[in-house]
Amino acid sequence: MASIYNNYSSDTICAIATAMSDAGIGIIRVSGSDAVDICDKIFVSPKKQHTLKDHEANTIKYGFVCDGDTIIDEVMISFMKGPYSYTREDVIEINSHGGMLIMNQIMELLIKNGCRLAEPGEFTKRAFLNGRIDLTKAEAIMDIISAQNNFALESSRMQLQGKISDCIKDIRKKIIYEMAFIESALDDPENYDLTGYPEKLDGIVDNLSEEIRKLVDSANEGKIRKDGIRTVIVGKPNAGKSSLLNALTGDERAIVTNIAGTTRDIIEETVRLGDIILHVIDTAGIRDTDDVIEKIGVDKAKKAVEEAELVLYILDSTDVFSDEDKEIASLCKDKKTIVLLNKNDLENDIKITDDIVRMHFSEPDDKELPIISTSLLKGDGLDDLKAAVSDLFLNGEIAPKQEIYITNLRHKDLLEKALESLSLVKDSISKNISEDFYTIDLTSAYEFLGEIIGEEIGDDLVEEIFSKFCMGK
Ligand code: GDP
């Protein structure tokens, strides 16, 4: 049980656990001490010979949900007796037909007979508060449901298996050992000698910080792999921006035309480059114009570049490198940018080469600017684009290398706070400050890490975290 949490309500809750749409089967979940009694009021077995109370735990029974003498639906009911259930309370799951109307009628019946409609995430919150899972595992359950790619799914699975909690618990164990040692030495100086201890602690804190730092470092890559990269496609009208988007989405959603400035508004698409997700904003192109509608597009494009993590800058290689191009190039400054020299199939007309691009882009300390030759008409160059994105964001590794990645911002923030506290311990050591000060900052680090797994967490945060869950989970 989360130590500081006071808001536990033990009333019996119900919710539709399956999707809110018509389907073959729907599952309604009921959890709480009155789950069996309430369901008994609405469940009738075929020969009316059983009540749910008589059913063995972990069995599934066939019968009917009835409102008085009226049969509402033909169902299967499973019963998991607490503490051997998802929430550790008595849990009943009603497998009914999956129509929204029928499921809502069953829900109304349950509520009429004493259930309360569950809040989002309340089943998982109870599992957490009853000590069945820690907070990282509860969060992993949500992440498994919302995973959008294999990486997100796999890292959530690892988290649910306890890889992150184990790691955090291990670090906390080492910290509390030192805290206990210092306390003991201060209480009982005759038996515990602190001579030479600060130097030893300094080394221990270095190692702990290194372990935490690795987790923090994994967060940037973890986020990119899980959530994708905010990407903007820029370039003059007709360079091939819509064609790129179409090549990536594999359909004709963006209207491709050769009339300058037709793609006036911003189109946002989520596309996959292998297992990397790009949230691509296609813009109207960036150029000075008096046309009011077009101007809106241009302003949006400039703003989109500011907000993007990756800029894909398309140049029509059969055109000249104009002032507009220079202006666009200047917008890309300080952004991770990949230049696509498009229309390479028109090889006889090429006017812009890699060298010309570099000349206009180069800063004295410019990193190697990735320049890719493409024919978006033919779909050529997309593999090179994938490699370039992976070079820029994933150290060239397409597949994840580590077992554990931090993908949750809450975890990352707390890890950083723990690091900060450990650095204060080192400060105190270097300044020869007395040992009891070490404990203060070691305790903070211990508590920040505890918040990750939910051991040092207050009501508000518990409410906030679980409110983001979906209904019925
Ligand atoms: P946007 O205005 O930047 O979105 O450019 P579009 O994608 O609409 O492309 C403008 C025109 O260039 C269209 O007629 C495309 O078919 C053509 N186009 C795009 N990419 C290529 C390419 O690689 N080779 C050739 N030959 N034409 C292309």
283 lines ligand 1 (CB under 6 A): no
225 lines ligand 1 (CB under 6 A): no
DSSP string, 15-57: EE-S-SS-EEEEEEEEESTTHHHHHHHHEE-TTS---GGGSPT
The closest alpha carbon to 33, from 59, 11, 62, 48, belongs to: 11
pLDDT digit string, tens, across residues 258-309: 545 555 455 677 888 877 888 887 665 444 455 555 554 456 667 778 889 9
Report the predicted TM-score, pTM, of the whole model to 2 decimal places: 0.74
Tokens of 292: 């009011």
User: Which residue CA neighbors atom 28 of ligand 1 most closely?
Assistant: 377
155 lines ligand 1 (CB under 6 A): no
For residues 265 and 295, give the distance between their C-alpha atoms in angstroms, rounded to a whole number. 10
First-to-last CA distance in the chain? 19
CATH homologous superfamily of domain 2-134?
Probable tRNA modification gtpase trme; domain 1 (3.30.1360.120)
User: Which residue CA neighbors atom 22 of ligand 1 most closely?
Assistant: 343
pLDDT digit string, tens, across residues 2-59: 444 556 677 999 999 998 888 899 999 999 999 999 999 999 998 887 778 887 888 8
Q: Helix %, strand %, coil % for the chain, to 5?
A: 45, 20, 35
**Residue 91, strand partner residues:** 31, 80
Tokens 């983001």 correspond to what residue? 468
Whether residue 83 has a cis bond before it, omega within 30° of 0: yes
Residue 266 DSSP symbol: -
The closest alpha carbon to 441, from 428, 450, 453, 452, belongs to: 428
Ligand 1 pocket test, candidate residues 377, 378, 382, 384, most atoms within 8 A of CB: 377
Where do the domains of the chain lie? 2-134, 150-223+406-458, 227-394
Q: 227-394 maps to which CATH number?
A: 3.40.50.300
pLDDT digit string, tens, across residues 196-221: 899 999 999 999 999 999 999 999 88
Q: Which residues contact 173 (CB under 8 A, 6 or more apart)?
A: none
For residues 358 and 14, give the distance between their C-alpha atoms in angstroms, rounded to a whole number. 63
Could you tell me the fold of the domain covering 150-223+406-458?
Four Helix Bundle (Hemerythrin (Met), subunit A) (1.20.120)
How many residues are present in the chain?
473
